[in-house]
Structure 1
């Protein structure tokens, strides 16, 4: 399957996690003229509703207007689900115009961090040195520049990260969430980078910065075995050093 299809499915999974039981009831009610009553009553999850809409031509990789309308009218004015949807539209829908400002960050999150290696900086044995470039608006009184970098010094997990970038597929966001990286950070990185591998790479670098000396291969293994991820195959390879 191509990159857009995978991103589309990831986006629907992300949106479904923003929809609670009451939201779903309202969405089903609004769809009662589209989905027959018997099938409508059987829908218990947002992903099942999305499938029903796809089957009837109301939802596709290039047609998200009906879903966006449902989110706006049935989900109590919450913008988090719409933001996830529009992050996808920004990349794959020509002429996209956002309805939710991307700089509307939650309180306490004035800017986002994106991790990257700085070539040419020496790495001490057993340590991986990563810098994080800060974007966005910094709090009053702080240094605000795209060149502001914070140093990360922790265990060298470059081989593990390379392995995971190559091996993780559609489950990658569940894995990153189980590591504890904030949702807004994941969404911002997803918006800034087009390929799944690069998104995984940037998220793992941001996680390393967040964890500092606490970053470890064991934490990666625990996250892979999390109930929302269940990539025991990859966890076993990390444990056995087969990567």
Structure 2
């Protein structure tokens, strides 16, 4: 990784690595079993080596530190999580889409809730129809290997981030119907109509 941002990123990871206790590292390795693989984890003896393995799998980069942030939260190291957040803020990167708060946001959130609760294993077909590439869907699955609901929510959030103001409930309903997910589409419309 070249450039000053890359160097700064590596320096920040190095600091986090030095602050990890042996127990912290073991906990992180355990949490990364699905993503990295048992055999490689056995050869890892430092935070830096683990971070490198995550970078190789596109789970960690200067633009995307979400996966590491979740790991640090899980091992209860808010101090290290804050270091990560400070780096992200310094580079103007936003982890979550920022959108105008209003009726539309409330309606979208209600629609997301219905979709996450009802779409099940068809979510990847639906996500492709929303315009997501297969590589992104695999990355989402790597990040949340055993949480389908979170996989669906992340796909929806990414769609919302990309579309910006063009992200509407009507568009979601249209895509649901094009996937023959009419019952889910009907439920979304019912829920959203209650908001007004």
TM-score by length of 1: 0.41
Instruction: Compare the two structures and name the one with the higher helix fraction.
Output: 2
Instruction: Compare the two structures and name the one with the higher strand fraction.
Output: 1
TM-score by length of 2: 0.49
Structure with bigger gyration radius: 1
